[in-house]
Amino acid sequence: MEQKSRKPVVVSGMQPSGPLHLGNYLGALKNWIDIQNSGKHDCFFFIADYHSITENYDPKEKKEQAFELICEYLAAGLDPEKSTLFVQSRTPQCAELAWIFNTVTPISELERMTQFKDKSSKQAKNVNMGLFDYPVLQAADILLYHGSLVPVGQDQVQHVELTRDIARWFNQKYKKEYFPLSQPLLMPLAKIMSLHEPEKKMSKSAGEKHWLGIDEEPEMIKKKLSKAVTTPEGIKNLKSIYEAFSDKMGGPFDEKQMAKTKETIAHGLADYFSDFRKKKKEWKKDRSSVEKILEQGRKKTDEIADRTMAEVKQIIGLN
């Protein structure tokens, strides 16, 4: 019954919650493009809209946020001819599989997940069950397509370990080696921190001055960087940004002349993302083409998901 692929299956996604920032790009999107272009994997990259509704959000904005994110995927270089691109909620079998996985996942394992504690602290008035159960849905996202590799940084390894555990618990309970034991595909990461609180990761939730969007116009990039703090941690963060885009930097990183160094970084970033900005605008104007790509992705994921769920239901005695 186990589905076979000639190549290892890679699955990953991002939540639609507004424009991507430097941390999102270096921590995920750039790596996905490298994986895709290696030609060594069968790639599935999705818009994690089910995951995004566990956080505080405006329902009126969610659809456009999802559309903007897929445009950013495409503008950055994800290719629908090389990767399957799709919206999570349009293949809702992931939620059905997550329910089945809930029946083999001990509560104690979810209670120790660090991301639940972190997210709960940021939205103390909205600590919902979705936040707690987030890792199980994440496991379903991966295993629905029999994902064997998940591109992550070291701070996300815990979630991949749980996905592997859930696959093992399912296989053991039903005495069937059905799901693969997914492994983390550790990626080189430049840890990008807040421009104003460099002891914290760059995040949109902290406020506009803390993050730098990859679609921002040159003047805004320059303005935000000019106000970035230059404490020892701040300088270290700016140096990380400089080094991550070193090929585009037209001058040295001089800690004694940080105003000039910030201008160098601003020019370098504006140059690096100039093609991205242009392509994103083009994709946003061509909504019909974007929808065709998403429909193409939905058809492929639906076919795999239907087969997986039919086989799972047979294994657990519902078919």
Low-confidence ranges of the chain (pLDDT < 50): 1-3
Closest CA to 45 of 8, 79, 21: 79
Determine the topology of domain 9-191+287-316 in CATH: Rossmann fold (3.40.50)
Closest CA to 218 of 162, 164, 149, 276: 276
3-state secondary structure of 174: coil
pLDDT at residue 1 in the model:
42
Write down how long the chain is: 319
Structure confidence by residue, pLDDT tens digits, 130-159: 888 999 999 999 999 999 999 988 778 888
CB contact burial 292-310 (16+ within 10 A = b; e otherwise): ebbeebbebbeebbeebbe
Question: How crowded is residue 317: how many other Cβ atoms within 10 Å of its Cβ?
Answer: 7
What is the Cβ-side half-sphere exposure of residue 304, based on CA atoms within 13 angstroms?
24
Each domain of the chain, given as residue ranges in start order, spans 9-191+287-316, 204-275
Do residues 228 and 262 lie in contact, with contact meaning Cβ atoms separated by under 8 Å?
yes
| Those residues with Cβ within 8 angstroms of residue 111's Cβ, 6 or more apart along the chain or in another chain | none
Catalytic residues: 119, 201, 204
pLDDT at residue 107 in the model:
93
What does the alpha-carbon distance between residue 185 and residue 292 come to, in Å, rounded to a whole number?
A: 30
In this structure, which long-range contacts are made by residues 197-200, counting pairs with CB atoms below 8 Å and at least 24 apart in sequence?
A: 197/229, 198/229, 198/231, 198/233, 198/234, 198/236, 198/237, 199/233
Closest CA to 155 of 25, 50, 27, 11: 27
pLDDT at residue 204 in the model:
87
pLDDT at residue 66 in the model:
97
Cα-based torsion angle of the residue sequence 104, 110, 113, 116 in order, rounded to the nearest 10 degrees: 130
Structure confidence by residue, pLDDT tens digits, 263-299: 999 999 999 999 999 999 999 999 999 999 999 999 9
Q: Note the pTM of the prediction, 2 decimals.
A: 0.92
Alpha-helical segments (H) within the chain:
22-24, 30-38, 49-52, 59-76, 93-102, 107-111, 114-122, 129-143, 157-173, 218-226, 232-244, 258-272, 274-285, 287-316
pLDDT at residue 237 in the model:
97
